[in-house]
Structure 1
């Protein structure tokens, strides 16, 4: 009987995922001069997904988005110069990205949401919580950076001589998948991300301490963002928690550049996220 009960539960889960997948819609919104691309998946309490640098929705969240959409209304966004969202003649910064998301939420008439960011997307999540705290219910921060010391020595020096050849091929392919033959757009995205990281400044401790929402920090034990930095961030956040999982940058969520394409770790990570979000 237990076996049949398990199979029945499994079938219900798959059916729920498939039904929500059919509810996916793609949109553009006029936001602060941008034609901002976003997707809505599933139903439930809003959960905003913010991708990593040089990434798309699919390359950052392709493994976990269908699982999250089974119980949330997922709003996944591609930020300035990334994926379907074209670049414009305007500075790019984490603060500007945060303001763009805040404007999008007002356009969608969403008063408050949970936020899940990966890498650069996590830094944007922190800026949303600092600049627009009324919009945030909970934060999930995967490989979040808030201080330059959170990266290994020499990391930022590498941007001084970075070229497109240094960009991981899966990320280049992901951009070209949604923008076929747009090498100019690919280079613009790369240059934007490099320029932003060159001038990255620490977020003040006082601003981090001012984030009053429950926050879950997730790091890989071999992450590009040092686990020690993640622990420091989780302790600085007034309602912070931390999970360290085995693996490299993004492996916990099955990001496109990570090994183990058949790993079950993304499912485990989603289960941990769901437990946090539903408390």
Structure 2
């Protein structure tokens, strides 16, 4: 199923495929459902009903008047989960989507079964030193690249891109600033996943894992685009974690 649903007055594009336990993929900034093209088939094959909603001002979902923030997008996602899923779902958030997932789990732990958070810092202390993300996203090169995805599908039309870009850049420059000591109420088992050359430090991810009641860390070779770079590693790891079954060690391999 692909198309629009009305969620608390917001015309929201989503793509739903497969059968089984609900799994919601939360995309990164400036992109949409298509960014998970390397994950959706594998997750459907693993037996999940995969939802990929596009947030306000992203891809097919129209912008909404007023500023955008992680908090606002988390409210949108809570409403989507209540209306379109109706049961605790697994959340897999990548980049900005990981911030949204974390806020949803903090506000509404009853809506989240298990959670995978990919490649994201949750306050400015977690940014890799020297990372000039804001400068890059303001560059002509980045804007041209982002518009290739936005212009053909946005219902607001290509002329609206500068408005969305300005809103997103303000958010990225000033957020997130989530105190890690506010995460103790999150009950969902959580996998924090990042690349070894990601935009978040391993030390920060370790601190996130320590702040969550039930969390683990995985660091794989790759950058901020890890799910696209190494789906052969990322997808089985997600499925294994969401199933809650770590593979049993092959003791014969150690003992001969």
TM-score between both structures, scaled by the size of structure 1 = 0.80
* Conserved? CA contact 2:181–2:211, under 8 Å: no
- Taking only aligned residues, the RMSD between alpha carbons, in angstroms, comes to 2.2
* Conserved? CA contact 1:214–1:239, under 8 Å: yes
Distance 1:180 1:169 in 2: 19
Per the alignment, residue 230 of structure 1 pairs with 205
Distance 1:104 1:133 in 2: 15
Per the alignment, residue 84 of structure 2 pairs with 108
Structure 1 residue 144 displacement after superposition = 2.3
For the structure 1 residues 108 and 162, does the alpha-carbon distance in structure 2 shift closer, same or farther, using more than 3 Å as the test?
closer
Count of residues paired in the alignment: 243
Q: Where do 5+ consecutive residues of structure 1 fail to align?
A: 1-24, 255-259
Per the alignment, residue 144 of structure 1 pairs with 120
Runs of 4+ in 1 over 4 A off after TM superposition: none
Residues 1-279 of structure 1: matches in 2 within 5 Å? 25-58=1-34, 60-70=35-45, 71-153=47-129, 155=131, 159=134, 163=138, 165=140, 167=142, 169-179=144-154, 182-251=157-226, 253-254=227-228, 265-279=230-244
* Conserved? CA contact 2:99–2:176, under 8 Å: no
Deviation per residue, 1:131-187 (Å, 9 max, x gap): 11110001100012211111133557x648963625264433222342499322322
Q: Where do 5+ consecutive residues of structure 2 fail to align?
A: 245-256
* Conserved? CA contact 2:183–2:211, under 8 Å: yes
